Structure 1
Amino acid sequence: MGRVLITPRSLTASPPPELGRLREAGHDLIFSTPGEMPGEAELLELVPEVDGWLAGVEPVSPAVIAAANRLSVISRNGSGVDNLPMAVLEKRGIKIARAMAANATGVAELAVGLTVAACRHLPEVCHGVRDGGWPRPKGREIEGAVVGVLGAGAIGRKVAGIFAEFGADVLAVDPCRPDLGRLAGRVRYVDLPELLERSDIITLHCPATADGSPLIDAAALARMRKGAILVNTARAGLIDEAALVAALDAGRIAAYATDVFVLEPPAAGGLAAHPKVIATSHIGGLTDESVRRATDQAVDNLLACLGGTLDAAG
């Protein structure tokens, strides 16, 4: 029926059975280099004559879209579209489909794990014991702390709920202020200045700003409490890296724990190598369960646009 390009690293490294539904519906699958994020040159080679695209977080340029002469739909295996040239796609009439909230649990759990690691100096302790030492740095507890959650979408609300169960005082910022449901009374909406000034821990779960400028810039860092912990499992562009390094060096920010970088993998000796940074390799949604949910939704969206049955697998 059609040709479908598959580019997410989690799907090309080890194609999951969920992709089989596309083949059963008569579509041919084309994969980018297994386990690697495709660059513009590779995408330019792959996109001609492709009807559908199951896309990851790889940057997609207008030139790539121009070369995709038959493309009718891009189906993301996540919710973000910051990597896509939306104006160009809209002009071409190419549909964008997203797997909303599919990886929310995986990302939320990683954000909490990174927070605990920062509070208890786990990388330092682990490396010290592995090297034959016995480091015992004094940590801090989340219970009783003020935790600020920037973004109250599916991921942010899960994170807020976990921290509320830990006994933290949870503040949230979201311009849409979605209904908190069962979290009402346990999580409180505030404005951004109050969240920055009061929070001991701040965790980011929001999209990029409209103009692409960092949300946490030098001014925001200056408003944060001395010794605060900053966690980012959302988007690297939300942070002014130069200002953050200065705040880490000055001791204003105690630790930065992140799963995202502007350049992935990051350059050696950069932010990821800072002694107060805990870095992971964009693994928030990389769990068996999250990959399965996201792939199922992305395949459903492709089948709805390209043709085929949504329950071909039974």
Structure 2
Amino acid sequence: MARILITPRSLTAAPPAELGRLRQAGHELIFSTAGQTPDEAELLRLVPQVEGWLAGVEPISPAVIAAADRLHVISRNGSGVDNLPLADLERRGIRVARAMAANATGVAELAVGLCVAACRNLPEVCHGVRGGGWPRPKGREIEGAVVGVVGAGAIGRKVAGILAEFGAKVLALDPFRPDLGRLAGRVRYVERAELFDGADIVTLHCPMSAEGAPLIDAPTLASMKRGAIIVNTARAGLIDEAALVAALDEGRIAAYATDVFEPEPPAAGGLAAHPKVIATSHIGGLTDESVRRATDLAVDSLLQHLGEACHVAG
């Protein structure tokens, strides 16, 4: 049967039982270095002779795809594909499958937690109490705040629903404006300027633009309310980092709470070390439930597509 490469950090560190279905189907599993994001050199070493690939968020270059001489399918254990050279994959006829919405609950709950942490200065308070102090900074409430949700996909809608239940006035920005369903009447679609100019909290749940330009640049930061909070559980490149640091230093942005960096892990002493940054280590989808759902969907896709490839070859 097929050789399948497994590279997501969450699966190589502690391979879950869901991968057993691949072995039961007769496939051979090849793992990248446990618990680490593989670099290009490691991928170039592993991809030859691989027919299926269960991939994570690691950057995959055209050179890696060129070396994958037998690859039929890449199955993501998430929904994002901006780490893939899609044009090269299309030219080769390599299929791309995604585990849509599998980690939506985990990421949404973390985003809401980061909103609360930023509003109540939780890292500062925790650090102070742990060190023997008794800091009591005045926080702010989400109830009554204007929250801008950028991206109304599965994750963004979950975040919008939770924050609406908190009593926030929720604005949404999405070029496709998907049906809000039960959120209709509690969440309102707006244009870009209204969201960024009016929001007390902005939370990002969208992909990068095709051009790769940041969504939030210096002019956007300048237009936002003084003291606004930005939460990012989507992509580090959505924000111009240099402009963000300047806005944090000047106090125009009160806090930046993020689960994503470029590169990962971030350089020591960089953005993650800023006193107004709340940093987590890309753990949004790292829950037992999210990993199980995503792995199941990714395995389903591999079994389906590799079965079809074997049928065609036969």
TM-score by length of 2: 0.98
Matched, 1:207 2:207: yes
Query: How far off its partner does 1:68 sit?
Result: 0.3
Checking the alignment, whether the CA contact within 8 Å between 1:152 and 1:177 is kept in structure 2 is yes
Distance 2:307 2:288 in 1: 27
Match of residue 240 from structure 1: 240
For these two proteins, the number of residue pairs brought into alignment is: 308
Match of residue 230 from structure 2: 230
Distance 1:62 1:233 in 2: 26
Match of residue 110 from structure 1: 110
Distance 1:146 1:210 in 2: 29
Match of residue 101 from structure 2: 101
Checking the alignment, whether the CA contact within 8 Å between 1:149 and 1:203 is kept in structure 2 is yes
Q: Deviations over 1:259-300 (max 9, x none)?
A: 000100000000000000000000000000000000000000
Match of residue 139 from structure 1: 139
Match of residue 287 from structure 1: 287
Q: Deviations over 1:40-81 (max 9, x none)?
A: 000000000000000000000100000000001000000000
Checking the alignment, whether the CA contact within 8 Å between 1:12 and 1:35 is kept in structure 2 is yes
Aligned 1:26-175 pairs, distance under 5 A: 26-175=26-175
Match of residue 252 from structure 1: 252
For structure 1, the residue ranges without an aligned partner over 5 or more in a row are 309-314
Distance 1:11 1:41 in 2: 20
Distance 1:206 1:133 in 2: 39
1:125 aligns to what SS in structure 2?
Answer: helix
Query: How far off its partner does 1:108 sit?
Result: 0.2
Amino acid at match of 1:173: L
Amino acid at match of 1:291: V
Amino acid at match of 1:198: G
2:4 aligns to what SS in structure 1?
Answer: strand
Amino acid at match of 1:115: C
Query: How far off its partner does 1:307 sit?
Result: 1.8
Distance 1:223 1:180 in 2: 27
Distance 2:192 2:20 in 1: 45
Amino acid at match of 2:303: L
Q: What is the percentage of aligned positions where both structures have the same residue?
A: 82
Distance 1:179 1:26 in 2: 42
Match of residue 263 from structure 2: 263
Distance 2:216 2:297 in 1: 32
Distance 1:207 1:139 in 2: 31
Matched, 1:190 2:186: no
For structure 2, the residue ranges without an aligned partner over 5 or more in a row are 309-314
Match of residue 21 from structure 1: 21
Checking the alignment, whether the CA contact within 8 Å between 1:25 and 1:307 is kept in structure 2 is no
Amino acid at match of 1:119: C
Moved over 4 A (4+): none
Amino acid at match of 2:227: G
Amino acid at match of 2:264: E
Distance 2:222 2:75 in 1: 39
Distance 1:84 1:277 in 2: 29
Q: Deviations over 1:229-286 (max 9, x none)?
A: 0000000010100000000001000000000001000000000000000000000000
Match of residue 221 from structure 2: 221
